[in-house]
Amino acid sequence: MPLPKDLIRISPTTWELPVTFKKGMLVPARIIASEKLINAMEDAVFEQAANVACLSGITGYSYCMPDGHWGYGFPIGGLAAMDPERGVISPGGIGFDINCGMRLVLTNLTEEEVRPRLHDLVNRLFSRIPTGVGCHGTLKVKESEFRHIAEQGSRWCLKKGYAVAEDLELTEEGGCFTGGDSAKVSNKAIERGLEQLGTLGSGNHYCEIQVARPENVLDQKIARSFGITIPNQVVIMFHCGSRGFGHQIATDYLQRFLKVMGPKYGLSVTDRELACAPFRSPEGQDYYAAMKCAVNMAFANRQMILHRIREVFSDIFHRDPFDLGLRMLYDVAHNTAKLERHLIDGAPRELLVHRKGATRSLGPGSPELPACYRESGQPVIIGGSMETGSYLLSGMTGSNATFATTAHGSGRTMSRHQAKKLFRGDRLQQQLEQRGIYIMTDSLGGLAEEAGGAYKDIDEVAAVTELAGLSKRIVKLLPMGNIKG
DNA sequence: ATGTGC
């Protein structure tokens, strides 16, 4: 597929569509990619990044990260910073799975210690962490309790004994976006959420046991400061979000925005999927307060899953989970919008940063970071496929250009439908087992959709983020065992 | 992504 002829190469890793690319663009669109990745990008990414550049109040550039691909309205990998006074908030810039995110957990166990118990561990994780569409959690809460969870996030877990203080310190925003208001959430969304705490979900959501081999440690010093200190150290990475709760909130507000956008606010968009409302309007503020509830539910969901992981490892090894070194490394959101301060032309400005399939990546010295990571920069977790592995990186100061943002995953190269035609889940499971990767799933079709071959080259994506000055590769993590929906 | 949709 030929690249758009207006596309300009700004640097080895930055490509730009000027405002002349499409009528209505207020700022240029920039795509962070190598030559290989830009050539593999779907046309839809260019169109969608340009559509986002037309949204009121967009500041600087509309961005797409190197793992970018086609999404609902915004590309997945999309980033837009809005002026909060003049700009809009758009659910399509956050995604249906609000606060879908990654959490990385340390252990002090080695591959040699874990391998003999791998099947037991994976089987037990699979039975303790519900997976799949429509799965229900082992914890059901009352509506009033759920409203607290939606407003407090991980803080609720700490109060109930499902977290230790350090878990919250090592979660983006302390595991709670303040200002969540459950009165702005529909009863339907709350009903869907009641039984979803501690559940993984489906699609590309998974929980993986991984190993950090010495040859894959790329920066010894920062790796040590992140707690990767022993050869062949085992870690646990998982990926999930706000389940049906967040999905319902996104659906509710997309409908509401579509009704008022034109008639009440005179906003027109190139694509209905970019439904939006002025951030300072009642509708915009209601969505922001409801979205924060979904963000908080997702933080609490990941915290409950961490609690289950601690129980499982403790059961299998007959030791206290903290003796096993089951400590947080970090938790990053990758589907949110939030008010953040960024330097624009040398002056600090508050901006509403939409990240959709994009990770915050604060560089060294950022005051928002916990003290233990202030020197290194923020841990960034880029999840790859179960075949090819994942990366732990650290934020770099070059990310000032992208509102402190980097990639979030490897990014699909083909649709789920195509992947299902090309790969077979049962065969994949067998092949991976032969390579020492044990997978439990209740959907072999879903497994085929997540085949490594359906994704971009994770090594290339991680390398490009480093070359672009967004995030530095610290450790490549290889899969040993995986549960998925 | 999603009690998977026109």
The model's pLDDT over A343-387, given as tens digits with 9 standing for 90+, comes to 988 899 999 999 999 999 999 999 999 999 999 999 999 999 888
**At a CB cut-off of 8 Å and minimum separation 6, what does A199 contact?**
A129, A130, A131, A135, A136, A137, A240, A243, A301
**At a CB cut-off of 8 Å and minimum separation 6, what does A340 contact?**
A350, A351, A353, A403, A404
Instruction: Tell me what pLDDT residue A140 has.
Output: 87
* Residue A136: half-sphere exposure toward Cβ, Cα within 13 Å: 8
CA of A118 to C1' of B5 (A): 39
Nucleotide nearest to A251 (CA to C1'): B2
Nucleotides on chain B within 7 angstroms of protein Cβ:
1-4
Instruction: Tell me what pLDDT residue A5 has.
Output: 94
Q: Is A178 helix (H, G, I), strand (E, B) or coil?
A: coil
Using the structure block, give the residue that is written with the tokens 């090894």.
Answer: A317
Residues making up the binding site of A for Mn(2+):
97, 205, 239, 334
Burial of A436 (0-12, 13-18, 19+ CB in 10 A): middle
Q: Is there contact between A204 and strand B, defined as CB under 7 Å from any strand atom? A: yes
Q: Is there contact between A192 and strand B, defined as CB under 7 Å from any strand atom? A: yes
Q: How far is CA A324 from the centre of its chain?
A: 27
Q: Is A457 helix (H, G, I), strand (E, B) or coil?
A: coil
Pick the catalytic residue from A342, A354, A408, A417: A408
CA of A231 to C1' of B5 (A): 49
Burial of A129 (0-12, 13-18, 19+ CB in 10 A): buried
Instruction: Please choose, from the candidates A372, A404, A378, the residue with its C-alpha nearest in 3D space to the C-alpha of residue A166.
Output: A372
User: What pTM value is reported for the model?
Assistant: 0.98
Residues making up the binding site of A for GMP:
204-208, 334-335, 383-386, 390, 408-411, 484
The DSSP 8-state label assigned to residue A421 in this structure reads: H
CA of A305 to C1' of B1 (A): 18
Q: Is there contact between A136 and strand B, defined as CB under 7 Å from any strand atom? A: no
Instruction: Tell me what pLDDT residue A338 has.
Output: 97
Query: Does the active-site annotation cover A119?
Result: no
At A315, phi and psi to the nearest 5? -60, -45
Rounded distance between C-alpha atoms, residue A425 and residue A374, angstroms: 43
**At a CB cut-off of 8 Å and minimum separation 6, what does A78 contact?**
A48, A49, A52, A62, A63, A64, A65, A68, A71, A93, A354, A355, A356, A357, A358
Instruction: Tell me what pLDDT residue A195 has.
Output: 95
Rounded distance between C-alpha atoms, residue A135 and residue A353, angstroms: 32
How do residues A421-434 score in pLDDT, each as one tens digit? Answer: 999 999 999 999 99
**Regions of chain A short of the pLDDT cut 50:** none
Residue nearest to nucleotide B4 (CA to C1'): A133
CA distances from A309 to A237, A256, A407, A437 (A): 11, 39, 26, 19
Q: Determine the residue type at A326.
A: L
The mean pLDDT value of chain A amounts to 96
CA of A150 to C1' of B3 (A): 20
Q: Is there contact between A239 and strand B, defined as CB under 7 Å from any strand atom? A: no
Rounded distance between C-alpha atoms, residue A95 and residue A72, angstroms: 7
End-to-end distance of chain A based on CA atoms, in angstroms? 33
What whole-number percentage of chain A has pLDDT above 70?
Answer: 100
Instruction: Tell me what pLDDT residue A166 has.
Output: 98
CA of A247 to C1' of B1 (A): 8
Q: Is there contact between A97 and strand B, defined as CB under 7 Å from any strand atom? A: yes
